[in-house]
Amino acid sequence: MILGLILAEVALFLAGALLGHVFLGAAAASALVFLLLAYRHPNLAWILVWLAFPFSIEKVIPGGHALHVPTEPMIVLALLAWSVRLLEKPASLPTGSLHAPLLTLAAVTILSVTFSSFPELGLKGLIAASGYVLFAYVYCLSSCRDPATVERTVPWIVGSGAAWGLYGAVRDLHEGVTLQSAYGAARPFFTEHGAYAAYLAMILPAALLFALERRGRERLLYAAASIAITLGIGLSLTRAAWVSLALVLPPLLVLWSWWRRSIRSVALVASLVVVVVAILVGFGAGTRISRQTGSIAGTGDVSNMERFNRWMAAVEMVKDRPLLGVGYDAYPRVYSKYRRKLILTEMAYVHSGAHSEVFRLLAESGILGFLAAAWLLLATGALGLRAFFKSTDPRARLIALAMLGGLGTYVVHAAFRTYIDLEKVAIPFWASLGVLSAMERSVRT
């Protein structure tokens, strides 16, 4: 078998070279290796996708379709390999309290696509979203029965977040911490600062909580990772991410302090804040961050004004089609039809989304879609808190708290941005839901 694999790899590479497409041959050979790896070692394949998806770049393939490479091909190969494993050894999906709201949301979304004026757009978006749900939610639900399994992935997840935090921070500091440099600090991989900050903010709660839990060298490493991630978020100048951390981290740390009967969190977080502030001030970024903070509620800020434009258009869409909306993923296509001219900015005519997951849900899936999504989020929050308060396994309680914190940052962030269709946010989001759903079994037992 090993000899056959080697020969197949060589054949694919040589075929690409002979046809003048060396890269294509190498990609095909790599795909074969990953397919076999996903079949033999599913958890390792999952972690490889996690490490790879921040590097993915959108490519337009023949037919005009966009594909995030290498993430989406890797997800397809992983799902194919796992399907073969299931055929060989069938297994039932564990029950969970999140299944009903998730299935309801899926049903409403399918209906919104069916009755949309642009069903082909909704179908493409639905296929991509289904892939993320299967890869992240369903896999984590079925594979994270043991909290120790999840715990072993945390260093990889936090470590990759720290690396990306440093990447964006160093680039931004090098270019002088301006709005323009912050917007593209993590390019070409994160095309703009919002998705970059949302990704980092979802990882920061785990980094902080594990810094509090660990001792010695491990604590120092998690603390250093927390600093790197915080610097990346701070220097991205993403106000929505700042608001999300300000709202989520204090209650998160209070819950940990209550659980451990310790105020160590105050001392540790205060120390980390001092280090971050010292770095920012030392590099002259303090003034720029202060100005950006002051613009959060600024009525004259162009970005804020444009959000009102997009939100008013969404309201008009809901009035026109209240139950199922204009169709999943159709907002950018129909925006010009519903655009009002009470507020005009230079961004008013840009092809863009709703700038809020709340208004996007209402506009694209109607009131029914919004209610289904609200049910899913409320059920997730209740499940996470139940796992934290009632689980007898300390590891399960820690993981539940970390997942709740990460999801909380995105829920707040999503009030001002729309990123759930991007793999850089979708994978952490659905994986967190899957892990929490798996934690439900620790509460039952």
Per-residue pLDDT of the chain (445 residues; tens, 9 = 90+): 444 444 444 454 445 444 544 455 567 777 888 888 899 899 999 999 999 999 998 887 766 677 888 899 899 999 999 999 998 888 777 888 999 999 999 999 999 999 998 999 899 889 989 999 999 999 999 988 889 999 999 999 999 999 999 999 999 998 888 888 888 889 889 988 999 999 999 999 999 999 999 999 999 999 999 999 999 999 999 999 999 999 999 999 999 999 999 887 788 889 999 999 999 888 888 888 888 787 766 555 667 777 888 898 899 999 999 999 999 999 989 988 887 766 555 555 565 688 899 999 999 999 999 999 999 999 999 999 999 999 989 999 999 999 999 999 999 999 988 888 888 999 999 999 999 999 887 775 5
The reply to whether 419 and 439 lie within a common domain is yes
Q: Indicate whether 442 belongs to any domain.
A: yes
Q: Are 109 and 126 in contact (CB under 8 A)?
A: yes
Residue ending a domain, choose from 296, 321, 347:
296
Separation of alpha carbons 71 and 45, rounded Å: 12
The reply to whether 336 and 441 lie within a common domain is yes
Separation of alpha carbons 206 and 185, rounded Å: 23
Q: Indicate whether 148 belongs to any domain.
A: no
Q: Indicate whether 149 belongs to any domain.
A: no
The reply to whether 327 and 245 lie within a common domain is no
pLDDT confidence of residue 80: 94
Q: Indicate whether 360 belongs to any domain.
A: yes
Q: Indicate whether 186 belongs to any domain.
A: yes
Separation of alpha carbons 105 and 286, rounded Å: 43
Residue ending a domain, choose from 69, 91, 113:
91
The reply to whether 221 and 287 lie within a common domain is yes
Number of domains in the chain: 3
pLDDT confidence of residue 11: 53
Separation of alpha carbons 418 and 356, rounded Å: 5
- Total residues belonging to the chain: 445
Residue ending a domain, choose from 263, 296, 329:
296
Separation of alpha carbons 55 and 33, rounded Å: 19
Which residues partner with 59 through β-bridges? 67
The C-alpha R_g of the chain, in whole angstroms, comes to: 22
Which helix (DSSP H) or strand (DSSP E) does residue 129 occupy?
helix 119-132
The reply to whether 326 and 444 lie within a common domain is yes
The reply to whether 318 and 256 lie within a common domain is no
pLDDT confidence of residue 22: 47
The reply to whether 286 and 249 lie within a common domain is yes
Q: Indicate whether 241 belongs to any domain.
A: yes
| 324-346 CB burial, b ≥16 within 10 A, e <16 | bbbbbbbbbebbeebeeeeeebe
Range of the domain at 352: 98-143+299-445
The reply to whether 395 and 423 lie within a common domain is yes
Separation of alpha carbons 111 and 381, rounded Å: 26
Contacts of 375 by beta carbon, 8 Å cutoff, 6+ apart? 101, 104, 105
pLDDT confidence of residue 8: 46
Q: Are 223 and 211 in contact (CB under 8 A)?
A: yes
What is the DSSP code (8-state) at residue 95? P
User: What count of Cα atoms within 13 Å lies in the side-chain half-sphere of residue 371?
Assistant: 10
What is the token pair recorded at 42?
A: 């599913």
Q: How far apart are the first and last CA of the chain?
A: 43
The reply to whether 197 and 286 lie within a common domain is yes
Report yes or no on whether pTM surpasses 0.75: yes
The reply to whether 69 and 120 lie within a common domain is no
Contacts of 112 by beta carbon, 8 Å cutoff, 6+ apart? 122, 324, 325, 327, 328, 364, 365, 366, 369
Q: Are 186 and 196 in contact (CB under 8 A)?
A: yes
Q: Indicate whether 265 belongs to any domain.
A: yes
pLDDT confidence of residue 363: 96
Which residues partner with 66 through β-bridges? 60
pLDDT confidence of residue 13: 43
The reply to whether 12 and 63 lie within a common domain is yes
| 125-155 CB burial, b ≥16 within 10 A, e <16 | bbebbebbbbbbbbbbbbbbeebeebeebbe
Q: Indicate whether 13 belongs to any domain.
A: yes
Q: What are phi and psi of 323, to 5 degrees?
A: -80, -50
Q: Calculate the CA dihedral of residues 390, 394, 399, 400 and round it to 10 degrees.
A: 10
The reply to whether 192 and 238 lie within a common domain is yes
What is the token pair recorded at 325?
A: 């909306």
